[in-house]
A and B are shown apart, each in its own frame.
Chain A
Amino acid sequence: MSTILEIENILKVYPDGVIANRDVSLRVEDNTIHAVVGENGAGKSTLMKIIFGITSPQEGTIRFRGKEVRFKSPNDAIRSGIGMVHQHLMLAPDLTVAENMVLGIEPRKRKLFLDQEETLRTSKKVSEEYGLDVPVEKKIRDLPIGVRQRVEILKALFRNAELLILDEPTAVLTPQEVEVLFKTLFKLKENGKTILFISHKLKEVKQIADRVTVMRDSRVITTEEASHLTEEKIAHLMVGRDIAGDRLPPSPALGDIRMSVRDLCYVTDENIRALNNINFDLRAGEILGLAGVEGNGQTYLIKTLTGLLEPTSGDILLENRNIAGLSPRQVRELGLSHIPEDRMDDGVAEHTSLEENFIVDRYYKQPFSRGIRLRWKDITSHSMDLIKRFQILTKNSRTPVGSLSGGNIQKVVVARELSSDPEVIIAAQPTRGVDVGSEEHIHSILKEARDRGKAVFLVSADLDEILKLSTRVIVIYNGGLVAHFPDASAVTDKDLGPYMLGVKKEEGSSGKIHP
C-alpha cells in the first residue's frame, strides 16, 4: 500500500496564541477511509484546514503523493487533487446544482458566454460516473441537506479530487442520510479515492473507517487499524478515561405537571400542517424524549414551545399559564430555557464575546446591569464561573464565540441555558458536534437538572441519546405524535423504528396519542 498523504511535525499557533497543532504527524494510505477523532478543540479541523491550504502552519512538512507541497490557498490544494467538504456547506443557494459544480471552471461558448448545455452535461456525467444521484437542474435551496452534501462531494470530484476531506459530515444528517453518505463513501473508495474524515460518533467510525487517528490536546495520540479498536477503546484514547454509555438510572421522583401541550397545531404559510394536534404533559423530575426522523415537525414544535413561532391553534400551559404566542423573553421569564438545535443561527452571536453571549438572556437583570449601565465586573466573573463549570476551552471570556471549536460553541449555549435555573428545559440536539467526553458532561448536567426536579424535554436525532437519557419517550411522525412509551428503560431502537418511519401507529381513544 502506498502513502498518499504524509504530514510531519506540524506546529500551528493561531495569532491569538492558541496552539492548535503541536508536533502533529499523520500518514494517510492510498485508497483507504481514514477517520480522525478527538475531543472538541483537539485541533482536528485546524489540521484539515492546513492540509487544504486554508491556513498555514508555522512548522512542519506535508507530502502529497510523495512530493512536498506548500499550499498557499485552497486553490493550490484543489489543483493538486485534494477536495474538502466543509462542515458548513459552501454552496450558493440560488444557483443550480450544475452551476455550483462548475463554478470557477465554467465551460464557455465563444469565449465570453457560459455554455449551459455543457454545464449540465458534464455535471450529469460526473454524477453518473460515481453513481451519486443529484438533480443537476434544481436549485440548492430546494434540496435537503444530505443531497447538498452529495453536491459538495461531486464538486470536489469534478475537480478531480483524489483525496477527499470531510469535516464532521454526519453532524447535520439524519440517520437515513448518514446511511446514504456511507454508501457514497464506500463507492468512492471502490473508485480508488482516499477519504479523510472527522467524526464524533464512534459507532460511525467503527462502521466505515479502515484506520483511525486519535487527537487529544493538539497532539496526535495514535493511529491504528480500526479493526484493532473498539468504541470504548477509542473513547478512552480520546479523553483518557472510561466513558459510561449506560442508560441513566430512573428518576428519583416524578413531580407535578410543569408543561402541558393541548391540541397544538401549526400550519405553514404554504398550507402544510407541520404540527397536527400535539398533546403531551411534561412533569417535574423527568426527561421526556422526542424521537423522530428529522423534518417531521420537531423544529416547529420547538419553535412554538419556546415562543419563536405562534401556533395556529392549541394551548401550551406553562405553570398553568397559556404561553402560546408569548414572546421568547416572556416565556423565558416564566422559567423556560431553550437549547436551540442550530447553535450558529439561534444559539450564539458568533462575532461577540463569550461574556456577551452568556448574558444575552439576562443582561437587563441584577447584577448584570444597574440603571442603564452594564456591570462588566459581575459579567466577567459570572462568565469565568461558567467557563470553569462547563469546561469550555477558550483563551478567555472576551474571545469571540466564533473562534471556538464547534463543540465548545455548543457548550457555551448549554452553559447559558442551564445557568438561568430554569424549571423547564427544552433541549434540542444538546450534544450535536460535541465530543464523547463533553457529551457525557452535558448528559450529566441534564440528569442533575432532572434529579433536582426540573422538567426536561429532549429532542434529538440521535436515538442512542434519546434512549440513554429519557424517562419516557414519545415519537413524532409527519407532524403528529404516533407513539408513547411510558417506560423508556424497556424500549430499544428497534421498537421505535417502525413508528419513526410511519409504518406503525398507536391509536389512542380519541384517535390521538395523549401521553
Chain B
Amino acid sequence: MNPLLKSIFSTEFAFAVIRVMTPLLLPALGVAITNLAGSVNIALEGIMLIAAFFGVLVSAFTGSLFLSLLAGIAAGVALAAILGYFHLKLKADIILGAIALNLFAAGFTIFMLFLITGDKGSTSSLKSLVFPSVHIPLIRHIPVLGDIVSGHNVLTYVAVLMVLVFYIIVYKTPLGLRIRAVGQNPDAAASVGIKVDRIKLYALMLSGFFGALGGLYLSMGYVSWFSRDMTAGRGFIAIAASTLGGNLPMGTFLASLLFGVVNAFAIYIASLNVPSELIQMIPYLVTLVALTIFSLRTLRKRPAKKEEKKLHVDEAAL
C-alpha cells in the first residue's frame, strides 16, 4: 500500500485526529452557544490566546495545575465579559468589539512574553506544566479502539464531556430555554420579562468558558509552552465548525471532527515532499468548501416557505 494511505488508515492517525480536534471543538461550542443567543462571537481567538497565556503563566509561578486551570478560565471568561460589556452596555458593534479584543489579546500576550523572557523573537516561548494524559482502564487494552481513544490529554476528555454539558445547558435548563428564546425572538423574550442583555451576557461568558478550556489545552496539553499567536486561526475555524454543525451539540462535534481529520491530514502529508505553504492552506480550503456546500444547501431550501405550510393546515384551523 501507498505509505501515505497506510499512515492514514493507522490508529496513530485516528489518535492524531482526536488530538487536533480538541482545540477546535471547545471554541466551536463557545461560538455555538452565543449563536444560539443571537450574537456572533468572533472573539474566540483572543479568548483562547489569553487563557492559554494565563494558564502557562500561573503554572510557571505556582507549579499548580489546578490554579493554572482556574486562571485560564478566569481570563477567558473575563475577556468574554468585557466583550459583553462593550456590546450590551456600551452598545458597540459586537464584531468590532471582538476584533479589538482579538488584537488586544495578541498584542498583550506578545508584550508579556517579551517582559518575561526578554526575547522579542517570534520563536520565544514560555515553558509550562502540562495536564496529564489519561489511560482509560479496560478500554486501553481493547485493540485498535484502545489505541485511538485512550491515552489522550485529560482536557480532550473534558472537551467531549463539554458536548454533553452544552447539550444539558441548552436543552435541559431554563437558562438554555431563555438563551434560545432570546436568539430566536428577543422581543418575545423581553415581552415575558426576560432580561435579554443579561441572557446574552451569560451566553458570552459560557463561550468564554468553553474557549478558555480550548486555549488551556493548546498551551498545556497539545504542547507544553506558550508562544505568540499560537491559536493560529482556530478561533475562526471554530466559527465555521459551529455553523456547519447547525449550532447543535452533536453537529458541532461532528463538524469539529471533520476539521480535525483535515488538520491531521495536513500534518501527515507535511512529512512528504510537498511545499508546506500549500499544506497549510488545506484546512482553510476545506473550511471554504464546506461552508459553500452548506450555504448552497440552505439557500435551495428557503424560498416561499410561508404559504406551503399554510396549504395543508387550513383544515386544522377550521
Instruction: List chain A positions with a Cβ less than 8 A from chain B.
Output: 73-75, 78, 84, 86, 88-95, 99-100, 103-106, 108, 112-114, 116, 142-147, 155, 159, 174, 176-177, 180, 268-270, 272, 274, 293-300, 303, 309, 478-479
Which of A142, A144, A270, A296 gathers the greatest number of chain B CB atoms within 10 Å?
A144
B309 touches A142 (CB 8 A): yes
Binds A, one of B49-57, B118-126, B155-163, B300-308: B300-308
A78 touches B193 (CB 8 A): yes
B307 touches A297 (CB 8 A): yes
- Interface flag for B316 (CB, 8 Å): yes
24 contacts between A and B (CB under 8 A): A74-B191, A75-B193, A86-B191, A89-B188, A90-B185, A92-B188, A92-B189, A94-B180, A95-B180, A103-B178, A103-B192, A113-B168, A144-B316, A145-B310, A176-B317, A268-B308, A270-B308, A272-B312, A274-B311, A295-B307, A295-B310, A300-B304, A303-B304, A309-B304
| Residues on the B chain within 8 Å of A106, using CB | 174, 177
- In the assembled complex, the Cα of A295 lies from the Cα of B300 at a distance in Å of 22
**How many B residues have CB within 8 A of the partner chain?**
35
| Residues on the A chain within 8 Å of B308, using CB | 268, 270, 272, 274
| Residues on the A chain within 8 Å of B168, using CB | 113
- Interface flag for B23 (CB, 8 Å): no
Name the CB-closest residue of B to A294.
B310
B173 touches A113 (CB 8 A): yes
- In the assembled complex, the Cα of A411 lies from the Cα of B85 at a distance in Å of 41
- In the assembled complex, the Cα of A86 lies from the Cα of B309 at a distance in Å of 22
| Residues on the A chain within 8 Å of B303, using CB | 269, 309
| Residues on the B chain within 8 Å of A296, using CB | 311, 314
B176 touches A144 (CB 8 A): no
* SS of B interface (majority): helix
| Residues on the B chain within 8 Å of A146, using CB | 317
Within 8 A of A (CB), among B282-318: 300-301, 303-304, 306-314, 316-318
- In the assembled complex, the Cα of A74 lies from the Cα of B308 at a distance in Å of 35
- In the assembled complex, the Cα of A270 lies from the Cα of B303 at a distance in Å of 11
- Interface flag for B194 (CB, 8 Å): yes
Name the CB-closest residue of B to A144.
B313
B188 touches A269 (CB 8 A): no
Given contacts A113-B172, A114-B174, A309-B303, could you give 9 more A-B pairs where the C-beta distance is less than 8 Å? A90-B187, A92-B185, A100-B188, A103-B189, A104-B194, A112-B173, A147-B317, A269-B300, A269-B301
- In the assembled complex, the Cα of A104 lies from the Cα of B189 at a distance in Å of 8
* SS of A interface (majority): loop
Instruction: List chain B positions with a Cβ less than 8 A from chain A.
Output: 168, 172-174, 176-178, 180-181, 184-185, 187-194, 300-301, 303-304, 306-314, 316-318
- Provided the pairs A74-B193, A112-B173, A113-B172 are in contact, do residues A268 and B304 lie with their beta carbons within 8 angstroms? yes
Name the CB-closest residue of B to A180.
B317
- In the assembled complex, the Cα of A147 lies from the Cα of B192 at a distance in Å of 19
| Residues on the B chain within 8 Å of A270, using CB | 308
- In the assembled complex, the Cα of A295 lies from the Cα of B317 at a distance in Å of 12
| Residues on the A chain within 8 Å of B180, using CB | 92, 94-95
B184 touches A93 (CB 8 A): yes
B307 touches A114 (CB 8 A): no
A95 touches B193 (CB 8 A): no
B316 touches A174 (CB 8 A): no
| Residues on the B chain within 8 Å of A142, using CB | 309
- In the assembled complex, the Cα of A296 lies from the Cα of B310 at a distance in Å of 8
| Residues on the A chain within 8 Å of B178, using CB | 103-104
Name the CB-closest residue of A to B186.
A92
Could you say which of B172, B191, B314, B316 contacts A293, with CB atoms under 8 Å apart? Answer: B314
CB distance from B167 to the nearest CB of A (A): 12
A104 touches B314 (CB 8 A): no
Could you say which of B177, B194, B312 contacts A114, with CB atoms under 8 Å apart? Answer: B177
CB distance from A346 to the nearest CB of B (A): 11
- In the assembled complex, the Cα of A90 lies from the Cα of B192 at a distance in Å of 9
- In the assembled complex, the Cα of A104 lies from the Cα of B191 at a distance in Å of 9
Name the CB-closest residue of B to A179.
B318
Which of B173, B185, B300 gathers the greatest number of chain A CB atoms within 10 Å?
B185
- Provided the pairs A95-B180, A146-B317 are in contact, do residues A103 and B310 lie with their beta carbons within 8 angstroms? no
CB distance from B29 to the nearest CB of A (A): 19
- In the assembled complex, the Cα of A142 lies from the Cα of B310 at a distance in Å of 9
| Residues on the A chain within 8 Å of B304, using CB | 268, 274, 299-300, 303, 309
- In the assembled complex, the Cα of A88 lies from the Cα of B185 at a distance in Å of 11
Name the CB-closest residue of B to A273.
B311
**3 tightest A-B CB contacts, nearest first:** A295-B310, A104-B192, A90-B188
CB distance from A119 to the nearest CB of B (A): 9
- In the assembled complex, the Cα of A265 lies from the Cα of B7 at a distance in Å of 55
CB distance from B94 to the nearest CB of A (A): 18
| Residues on the B chain within 8 Å of A112, using CB | 173
- In the assembled complex, the Cα of A268 lies from the Cα of B308 at a distance in Å of 8
Name the CB-closest residue of A to B302.
A269
| Residues on the B chain within 8 Å of A114, using CB | 172-174, 176-177
- In the assembled complex, the Cα of A295 lies from the Cα of B305 at a distance in Å of 11
| Residues on the A chain within 8 Å of B301, using CB | 269
B314 touches A144 (CB 8 A): yes
Name the CB-closest residue of A to B181.
A92
- In the assembled complex, the Cα of A257 lies from the Cα of B314 at a distance in Å of 34
| Residues on the A chain within 8 Å of B310, using CB | 144-145, 294-295
